[in-house]
Structure 1
Amino acid sequence: MRAPLRSACSRLALASAITLVLGLPASFSTQAAALPGPGVAWQQAGADADVDRAFAQARAEKKPVLLYWGASWCPPCNQLKATLFNRQDFIDRAKGFVAVHVDGDLAGAQKLGGRFKVRGYPTLILFNPEGAEITRLPGEVDAPQVMALLQQGLAGGRPVKAVLADARAGKPLSGGEWRMLAFYGWDTDESQLVPAAERAALLGQLAAACPPAERDAGTRLLLKALAESDDGKGLKPDAALRAKVLAVLADAAASRAQMDVVVNFATDITKALAPEAGSSRPHVASLLPPEGASGPLGRPGGTDRQKLATAFDAALQRLEADASLSRADRMSALVSRVQLARIDQAKDERAPKIPAALLQRVREAAAREDREITDPHERQAVITSAAYLLGEAGLWADSDVLLKANLARSHSPYYLMSQLGGNARKQGRADEALRWYEESFTKAQGPATRLQWGSGYFAALVELAPQDEARIERVARQLIDEAARDPAAFHERSARALQRMGGKLASWNAQGQHEAVVKRLQTSLQPVCGKLDAADAQRATCEALLKNAARRSS
């Protein structure tokens, strides 16, 4: 699993069941979302008309448009607020573009998500005044790199689709265009430029075609290709590729330039380059050098995987100690070190074998950040990552203590509650997990967030307490009722949350043992779908939601 700043916004299981009330629940936010940061003329957008006005302004002023898609609870969104949006150079640069903020919980935001092909929080897209997408900016790189990419776009950069077409045709590109491809937000692309299954091969081809003069861009494309090269896709490992990566990791400047890839993809790249698990050999954790040791890249006669793990760990130690990086990036480097240490251990191992010095480092880092962080956005980003790190290291009690201590200090405590539920669930404490998931759902705010948290809780309830038929029906009915009050409930993230509920209902009723419950829920859903215009794509999504949940035809 990759560092949580990349993935937590879409993967945590969430939670709760609360009593139905008439009208709009208090937890549904009806006020405008908070702006991403001070000093920038952000325009809130929750409907097509809002975005259309922004583009009209952009055309009139001959300015690009920067669209930011995020959510208040999302850790990497808070990281952007703590490290990018508050920078004076970003604020100054913002005078050259029209800044548009789409909060995922605004009334029509999920419909806008479909229009701009955005799903994961956060996503940053730069458009030219005519509405063509110049590039998607990666949210995980550090702020100075984002600023450099933004400057290129503001200087009249071509749309990325045209740049990629020329690269594939063998036409010459400028150095800035190679950097655009190297730093493009492929993870938030939603397969617009290339299908996901073909991405690794394309990145490898671009890396091979990148001229020597653009070494950093070529290195980044190669590392990204390797990170995508799993399950037989993409680049095939060989000694030459391993040597290239080992050289990057041994070079402090080169590994710093590729910081986000090294931090977020260490285990992925190691597995891609050395796919053998080595189950009969010692664990990688037992072969890593002592804390702080530079040492050789691998022991004499060691496996390729051991050499790579040792090299990555040395690079990660440097990055973890690099004061020029944000706290969140340094914490993510430590997360990656722990994941690397357990690379050959079972994925669901709850008591992993981790070197004692590394465990101590994990405890010290989590305590330090909890003690020193004062900015609320930085706290949301870093403390949630630290709690995840403690769990990855098998320090479950420490993780729980950290999360509980920060509930009152978080502007989105329901996110931390869902993590507490996940901790309990992983340790087999089902009742405790469901209690946290329930409270998390109770406290969740915003229609899209509530559907996401609610479907996560519902999934946990079906898996952990399948016999509690009354509770399962009550939570499912609440989600249907909340969807009925949300005008964008059957778009994008909200639609997927509801589809998840429908899928869980179908598996729960696989033998027809809960047929009566499913029939009642189908009856409750019918008027919700009936109120949607037949020409609205949401209508078909709604009607299909529980179609297969009943064992007998409806």
Structure 2
Amino acid sequence: MKHTLSSPVLAALVSALLLAAAPVTRASTGPGVSWQAAAADADIDRAFSQAKAEKKPVLLYWGAKWCPPCNQLKATLFNRADFIEQSKAFVAVGIDGDGPGAQKLGTRFKVRGYPTLILFNPSGNEITRLPGEADAAQVMKVLQLGLSSGRPVKSVLADARAGKKLSANEWRLLGFYGWETDEQQLLPVTERAATLTQLAKASDGADPETTTRLWLKSIGALAEGKAADPAQLPRLRAVLADPTQARAQMDVLGNEARDLVKALAPTAGEARTALVSEYDLALKRLNADTSLSRADRLNALQARIELARLDTAKDEPHPKTVPSALQTEARDQTTRANREITDGYERQAVITQAAYLLGRAGLWKDSDSLLTAALARSHSPYYLMSQLGGNAKKQGRKADALRWYEEAFNKSEGPATRLQWGSGYFAALIELSPEDTPRIEKAAAQLFAEAEKDPGAFYERSERSLKRVATLLGSWNQNPTQAAAVGRLKAQLDGVCGKLDGSDAKARSACQGLMKPKA
């Protein structure tokens, strides 16, 4: 029997859901929030049993302390007193990615990217994944739709693909689904772009905003910049020219600017020049829109920089195509943000974004200065240190890059984060100093030693970090000295695998497969 929610409960759920990305153990979440920190299957099972008994929905949040988008959510949505009060209406479950069993839980719920928000009904069935990149008001509307119907979005998609008639609200659930955090729960990645195109056509006439969103996503990053039908160019121009439409699609237009232009105007010429000019004007409006968060406004500015770099190699560190006036805007806006921000969560989100866009504009000294000055004020300075390493690497300063990557690893906190940051440092060593066998062996040995102490090391993000190290070791192994080092490291890893819980077949298999010779 379908469970329905009354309006008061629905409103409370929507408000509280937006709080879910707050860290589960921090006092800054405010008093009265009944957070249930989950670090193992037993914690999750307890929360779902409670939800079923009390007929409450469940919100699952997956995030990390250092994650800029997580910090952005905390800074703009999750610290409201009314949300905290209303959160008593449902079960909120928070998974810190560095918790002891967090990566194993990530496998259970098919979550990888931080942040991920999943809504379940009281019976434990997944209703939807939230589009964390969308505007808060849009997210709230989508939640209201999903909760009022109670239908899993998977069922809605099946009906849509079968050609069944959907309501405008059901189309909206599909249009504003968290496709970026789907992890192939609804569709294989290879089918996503074509399916979104199909859905955009099928939804025509039901809800214009949803249809536009599905269409934009189908030709943006999800289609990986492939050329689209140029006959659709006027449609994009119409969206850009309409401030209301552009505001409604601000996240897609900002995040996918480069791919959208290249898809609909694939070659340089009059059509592309005109489109870039119109796109830039729309982005200027978004950049000046004070109803948007500071991060969203800077995202529009960054998209303008990406369009200015359109005919420059994507990784070119010194683009000559970014106008000096645009560079001045980048300097002015990032300086103002640095001066005005007082909230620590917003600082972690916005300063890292600001430093990145300065680099994209070719303003490396400004980017370095911003990051260096922010280190002492960041609750996760290792994230900024890794950016400084990336800056140095792009400028060809190898020694500085390795110094920053190593310091970022040394200062990183939490088992999953340390494996991730350590694998980044290790990758930089292999690329920038492949002849330094002792340093490379030492870094890999340290990571394997840390994996031995972490029960979740062979799941999700941590497993991917270790796979990265093993793969790089395989390609680096080119001479007798390197082969001897790899042999010692394999022996160390064999010892780690041998100490794993014998009942955890998945972890044991993952460990043994890391440095297994290819057939």
| TM-score, normalisation: structure 1 | 0.86
Question: In the alignment, which residue of structure 1 is the partner of 2:313?
Answer: 346
Structure 1 320/376 Cα, relative in aligned 2: closer, same or farther at 3 Å?
same
| Bigger mean CA offset, 249-258 vs 79-88 | 79-88
Question: In the alignment, which residue of structure 2 is the partner of 1:427?
Answer: 395
Q: Distance in 2 between matches of 1:400 and 1:481?
A: 33
Structure 1 229/135 Cα, relative in aligned 2: closer, same or farther at 3 Å?
closer
Question: In the alignment, which residue of structure 1 is the partner of 2:60?
Answer: 67
Question: In the alignment, which residue of structure 2 is the partner of 1:91?
Answer: 84
**Residue 261 (str. 1) matches residue 252 (str. 2):** yes
1:301-333 superposed Cα distances (whole Å, 9 cap, x missing partner): x22x22221221111100000000000100111
Deviation at 1:392, TM superposition (A): 0.2
* C-alpha RMSD of the superposition: 1.8
Question: In the alignment, which residue of structure 1 is the partner of 2:436?
Answer: 468
Question: In the alignment, which residue of structure 2 is the partner of 1:546?
Answer: 515
1:337 to 301, 304, 318: 304
Equivalent residues of 2:219, 2:263 under 8 A apart: yes
The residue type paired with residue 501 of structure 2 is D
Deviation at 1:63, TM superposition (A): 1.2
- Secondary structure of the 1:212 match is coil
- Secondary structure of the 2:119 match is strand
- Secondary structure of the 1:43 match is strand
Q: Superposed, which structure 2 residues align to 1:69-468 within 5 Å?
A: 69-88=62-81, 90-228=83-221, 230=223, 236-239=228-231, 241-276=232-267, 278=268, 302-303=270-271, 305-352=272-319, 353-468=321-436
1:84-112 superposed Cα distances (whole Å, 9 cap, x missing partner): 21235543553332111101000000000
Q: Distance in 1 between matches of 2:148 and 2:210?
A: 19
1:429-475 superposed Cα distances (whole Å, 9 cap, x missing partner): 00011111111111100000000000000010111111111111111
Q: Distance in 2 between matches of 1:449 and 1:472?
A: 19
- Secondary structure of the 1:124 match is strand
Gaps of 5+ in 1: 1-30, 282-301
Structure 1 273/433 Cα, relative in aligned 2: closer, same or farther at 3 Å?
same
Equivalent residues of 1:64, 1:129 under 8 A apart: yes
Question: In the alignment, which residue of structure 1 is the partner of 2:29?
Answer: 37
Q: Distance in 2 between matches of 1:78 and 1:265?
A: 22
Structure 1 333/224 Cα, relative in aligned 2: closer, same or farther at 3 Å?
same
Question: In the alignment, which residue of structure 1 is the partner of 2:475?
Answer: 507
Q: Distance in 1 between matches of 2:179 and 2:27?
A: 26
| TM-score, normalisation: structure 2 | 0.92
Q: Distance in 1 between matches of 2:123 and 2:480?
A: 54
The residue type paired with residue 214 of structure 1 is D
Deviation at 1:211, TM superposition (A): 3.8
Q: Distance in 2 between matches of 1:266 and 1:426?
A: 23
Deviation at 1:349, TM superposition (A): 1.4
Structure 1 83/257 Cα, relative in aligned 2: closer, same or farther at 3 Å?
same
Q: Distance in 2 between matches of 1:254 and 1:64?
A: 33
Structure 1 425/33 Cα, relative in aligned 2: closer, same or farther at 3 Å?
farther
Gaps of 5+ in 2: 1-22
Instruction: Name segments (4+ residues, structure 1) moved above 3 Å.
Output: 31-36, 87-93, 228-233, 510-513
Equivalent residues of 2:327, 2:361 under 8 A apart: yes
Q: Distance in 2 between matches of 1:438 and 1:159?
A: 45
Equivalent residues of 1:36, 1:101 under 8 A apart: no
**Residue 491 (str. 1) matches residue 459 (str. 2):** yes
The residue type paired with residue 284 of structure 2 is Q
Deviation at 1:238, TM superposition (A): 2.4
Q: Which has the higher helix share?
A: 2
State the identity as a percent.
62
Greater RCO, 1 or 2 (C-alpha within 8 Å, sep 6+): 1
